Amino acid sequence: MCGIVGILSTTEKDTAIYIYDALTILQHRGQDAAGIVTSHKGRFYMRKSNGLVRNAFKTKHMEGLLGDMGIGHVRYPTAGSSSGAEAQPFYVNSPYGIAFAHNGNLTNTEALAKELFEQDLRHINTNSDSEILLNVFAGELAKLEKQRINEKDIFTSITQVHKRVQGAYAVVGMIPGYGIFGFRDPNGIRPLILGKRTTYGGTKYMLASESVALTALGYKVTRDIAPGEGIVIDRKGNVFTQQCSNSVKHSPCIFEFVYFARPDSVIDNISVYKSRLRMGEKLANKIQEEWNDEQIDVVIPIPDTSRVAALQLAQKLGVKYSEGLIKNRYIARTFIMPGQKQRKKSVKQKLSAIGLEFKNKNVLLVDDSIVRGTTSQQIVQMARNAGAKKVFFASAAPAVRYPNVYGIDMASSKEFIAHNKTTSEICHAIGADKLIYQDLQDLIWCVQQGNSDISVFDCSCFNGKYITGDVDKNYLQDIENLRSDTAKQKHGTNENSELICNDVE
């Protein structure tokens, strides 16, 4: 899961500052690397580096990122490694010069890489599927053999991308001297939203992964880019859109609403905040039905993502709500740490318990989900150490039992604590007195209430049903061999490697 931004201004030349601000707002979507590419007088200016946005860009870098349009990216590694060479945006010289940033994960990467080498005669320099996606698009654009392009040519290339590429992808791109563009896969798995801001004498346009990046910077949300749709914004501020796929089935990732997106975002016309409120209410109903013999003295969220659901759950149960766990805000999100050892270390640095809220109480801990169980196990023990009499645990999402192949780092089902375990066995494994999960149909209902036009969500990590229809056991085994924690340790990913193409130093 990554965050992408594209901005074009018809008047101002300091676009990089606004991209920087937008990436900072989207930092929760990836903390591995950050990058910005701008365009000025037909030339690209690039800076990308490992780490957080605030560390990747200093004053000297921002001063060198010239131009009235640009794109940005914050990276969370799934396909590829977490080395600097995988940082985005990517760039190709031919045709026309194209800068490109991608959120998602492709499922036919191996076949595409072979096609690009044998048929398109294009070279791939990294292990990133984003570079493959860029080269597929660039190769299709090159086939038109035109000296000057227009929006129709870009839409033609996007149409061909949809025919060749499978998986999840939301994209922003830029062609110097022409403008910016974006598109979304035919299932709309990953989000992409358009916004507009009128300034003195001109207009700014932004494409971003979440609405909060737009609204926080004074943009008015125009609409979500539709599944399979392409959008082009030229230098004059003309906006062109076209449906580029004949096989559209809107199936957004439900895990965006459970965990990844900020609560103040609206994606596909669904409020993340209200979805999480409904998750808390549904979970409270289930607790009342199944735990009527248990006394709960206090509900404590595991910050930050579970707060909204936990607050509504506590109100529904008529139980005290308390911020009994305090988060160190200078530690990255534990779930998206690149390895299990780092996750274990980070949990201890990330949270501390307020003993007064735990001592001699029956505590209900609420989390958004339980994936590998590392965090849950340590927090349950933290609650016991703080003096809790009983520690109950509630998950606002169902049990994660299957790999996610569309851009979330859940590659190996064997690493999930729910793998081949019943709820009682999972409860024992994390050390809780009782454990309860949200039912999948209730979770779907909670999100679907925000937009009844969406009938299907990607729930593959909960039910093993992959909506692109191309994921089988062999594919799942391949990604486990490539992306599991064990595989990452075996290959010895170097997280401090240098970048090879920084124009702005």
Measured from the Cβ of residue 57, the count of other Cβ atoms closer than 10 Å reads 26
Distance between CA atoms of 375 and 384, rounded to whole angstroms?
14
Residue 442 labeled ligand binder: no
Q: What is the DSSP string of 160-222?
A: HHHHH--EEEEEEEEETTTEEEEEE-TT--S--EEEEEEETTEEEEEEESSHHHHHTTTPEEE
Q: Is 368 labelled a binding residue?
A: yes
Distances (CA, A) of 488 to 94, 349, 408, 410: 33, 23, 15, 13
Contact (Cβ atoms closer than 8 angstroms) between residue 500 and residue 350: no
Q: In what order do the strands lie in the sheet with 239-243?
A: 90-92, 98-106, 167-175, 179-184, 229-234, 239-243
Contact partners, residue 190, CB within 8 Å, separation at least 6: 103, 104, 168, 169, 170, 184, 209, 253, 406, 407
Catalytic residue among 2, 427, 446, 459: 2
Q: List the beta strands (DSSP E) in 235-315.
A: 239-243, 266-267, 270-271, 298-301
Kindly report the three-state secondary structure assignment for every residue of 306-339. CHHHHHHHHHHHCCEECCCEEECCCCCCHHHCCC
DSSP three-state, residue 485: helix
* Nearest CA-CA partner of 380 in 396, 394, 400: 394
Q: Is 2 tagged catalytic?
A: yes
Transcribe 63-126 into DSSP letters: HH--BSEEEEEEE--SSS-SSGGG-S-EEE-SSS-EEEEEEEEES-HHHHHHHHHHTS-----S
Contact yes or no for 415/388 (Cβ under 8 A) = no
Please name the residues in contact with 491: beta carbons below 8 A apart, sequence gap of 6 or more.
81
Q: Which residues are catalytic?
A: 2
- Residues flagged as binding site for Mg(2+): 305, 367-368
